Amino acid sequence: MSTNIGVKTVKNIFTKLAATAATGAVLSVGIAIEAPKAQAISLSITNAGFETPVLGDDQFTDQLGIANPPGITDFLPGWDIYDPNGILASFTGREPTTGDYPSVGVWNPPAGNYPGEAPEGKNVAYVYLPTYSPNLVTVGSGVTGISQTLSSSLAAKTLYTLKVDVGNTTGINPSFPLVREIYKGFPGYEVQLLAGGNILATESALNPAEGTFTTSVLSFLATADNPYLGTPLQIRLINKNAAAGGDVDFDNVKLEATAVPEPASVLGLAAFGALGATLKRKKKLAAQKAEA
């Protein structure tokens, strides 16, 4: 802890305070004490930049293993599928007419989809729910995404800040011949922070331009009476499937925890002022009694 006054000055102040207490005079003393600056701690997230597995340009993985390059068996290391509506579970292979299918995994996007490519490293995570006209593929309604449960638990008096780059791809998907402007539009996204499976905070307000990423930021302050203290933290990255556009991409996931310090105690101003006033009042009463 640092202060803006020297040791000698402090000694002088307390000398004056002692004299003040003896005489009963009121002395206003302000001692500015800086609270220690809290340091943000980066919490561990497995495969936060989705750089595993290593992929070549425009290679990708998926939950069915259809697109996985040779030798890759774990399509999304460190992350789990979030499929509450059973959209991914309902597809066990390609749709016969289009050859397409909804999927999640890791992708190394080429410059044709993102002129700046991945915002961090080479890979991104994708959640792909294709929309066709006419309805050659019906993926159903509801959200789909990916999630990760962390080794860290929710702690009291801690501010959590979650940052994720969210992307809206552009261009035609060359992997499927019947796809025409399948990426046009944006289906919406949602970033969630949870503890013990309970949602603490969400963010879904951004609308990145096609071919770009933008950073989603959400914060949550865990108070001492939060009912989920001690339960594991969890991150969800969701395709809201709310409009045409098919694909939402994610990258560079970061979660920071900052302990919220107790307010700095500033002794002297109220306590010593009250002490001085009390002694002065007692001295006055004693003088009045002596005169009587």
161 with 283, same domain: the answer is no
Query: For residue 160, which amino acid is it?
Result: Y
C-alpha 175 chain-centroid distance: 33
Digit-coded pLDDT (tens) for 4-47:
434 444 345 445 444 444 444 444 444 444 556 779 999 999 99
What is the extent of the structural domain holding 152? 40-259
Domain annotation covers residue 192? yes
Q: Considering its fold, how many domains does the chain have in total?
A: 2
CA 292, chain centre distance (Å): 73
CA 106 to chain centre: 21
Query: Among 40, 62, 64, which residue's Cα sits nearest to residue 53?
Result: 62
In a domain, 1, yes or no: no
Q: Which residue has the higher pLDDT, 55 or 8?
A: 55
The pLDDT assigned to 18 comes to 46
Identify residue 44 by its one-letter amino acid code.
Answer: S
Show the beta-strand stretches assigned E in the chain: 40-42, 80-82, 103-107, 124-128, 144-153, 158-168, 189-195, 198-203, 212-222, 232-239, 247-259
For 3, the token pair is 């202060």
What digits encode the pLDDT tens for the residues 189-213?
Answer: 999 999 999 999 999 999 999 999 9
Whether residue 210 is found in the same domain as residue 283:
no
Write down the pTM of the prediction.
0.77
Residues 49-58 as b/e (b if ≥16 CB within 10 A, e otherwise) read bbbbbebeee
The percentage of the chain sitting over the pLDDT mark of 70, rounded to a whole number, equals 70
Residue 175 sits in a domain whose CATH number is: 2.60.120.260
Cβ neighbours of 36 (radius 10 Å): 12
Provide the residue type at 194 as one letter. L
Distance from C-alpha of 70 to C-alpha of 132, rounded to nearest angstrom: 30
Residues 104 and 222 in one domain: yes
Q: Are residues 18 and 131 in the same domain?
A: no
Chain centroid, CA 67 distance in Å: 31
